[in-house]
């Protein structure tokens, strides 16, 4: 359940919500239009003030409801998680012009921009197809940036545990990688003998395990 949102036709939102300038040379918005089965019906869910929403945000399923993305002018308080994990899906975008408070963020191919601060139990960004930009600080139990993820945090990163394993990320976390962080007894479930991600589990399996609260990571070194 969401409070305080209206639907703005995408053509109006491009100029009225400054979307073209927001995306700049990122092709995300064009990709969403191309992938939509009903591009002329696409809307942006917009809140002109602080917003509250209950439940998870399934960013991968937005296009099926003709929603290109969500824009919040103030803070977004989400009693749930922001999820973009479905293989080969074209997800909607999220732009929070204030701060974001939620249970978890799992960014795969989506475009997620928060102009101010992020507070969450878990923040994970993986894969080269997505874009994560946080203009302020991050307060999180865990923050993981890996597998080529494109991510930027302009402020401080204050987490109990985390690492940056992506050459495409500007995030002030210690350097590491999934294989070195997973408990030895769990590695066979997610990795091949050479340390590469297994197709059967892979990155998605690792993220889903963390979202489910499974204790797959070794203690902080």
pLDDT at 74: 95
| pLDDT greater than 60 at residue 26 | yes
Q: Average pLDDT for residues 105-128, to the nearest whole number?
A: 96
pLDDT at 164: 97
Q: Is the pLDDT of residue 3 over 70?
A: no
pLDDT at position 80: 96
pLDDT digits (tens, 9 = 90+) for 58-68: 999 999 999 99
Residue 86 or 106, more confident: 106
* Residue range 143-175, pLDDT digits in tens: 999 999 999 999 999 999 999 999 999 999 999
Report the residue count for the chain: 221
Sign of the four-CA dihedral 31, 47, 61, 131:
positive
**pLDDT at residue 160, as a whole number:** 94
Instruction: Tell me the whole-structure pTM to 2 decimals.
Output: 0.94
Q: How far is CA 51 from CA 5, 24, 78, 111, 139, in A?
A: 8, 25, 8, 19, 20
Whether residue 199 is predicted with pLDDT greater than 70 in this model: the reply is no
């Amino acid at each position: 359940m969401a409070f305080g949102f209206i639907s703005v036709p995408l053509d109006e939102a491009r100029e009225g919500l400054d979307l073209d300038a927001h995306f700049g040379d990122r092709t995300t918005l064009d990709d969403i239009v191309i992938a939509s089965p009903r591009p002329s019906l696409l809307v942006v869910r917009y809140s002109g003030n602080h917003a509250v929403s209950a439940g998870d945000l399934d960013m991968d399923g937005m296009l099926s409801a003709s929603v290109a993305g969500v824009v919040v002018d103030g803070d977004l308080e989400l009693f749930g998680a922001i999820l973009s994990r479905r293989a080969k899906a074209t997800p909607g975008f999220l732009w929070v012009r204030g701060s974001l408070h939620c249970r978890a963020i799992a960014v795969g191919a989506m475009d997620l921009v928060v102009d101010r601060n992020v507070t969450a139990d878990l923040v994970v960004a993986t894969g080269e197809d997505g874009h994560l930009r946080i203009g302020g600080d991050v307060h999180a139990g865990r923050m993981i940036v890996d597998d080529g993820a494109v991510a930027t945090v302009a402020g401080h990163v204050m987490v109990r545990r985390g690492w940056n394993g992506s050459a495409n990320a500007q995030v002030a976390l210690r350097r590491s990688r999934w294989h070195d962080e997973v408990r030895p007894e769990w590695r066979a479930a997610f990795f091949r003998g050479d340390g590469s991600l297994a197709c059967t589990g892979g990155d998605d399996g690792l993220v889903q395990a963390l979202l489910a609260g499974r204790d797959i990571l070794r203690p902080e070194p």
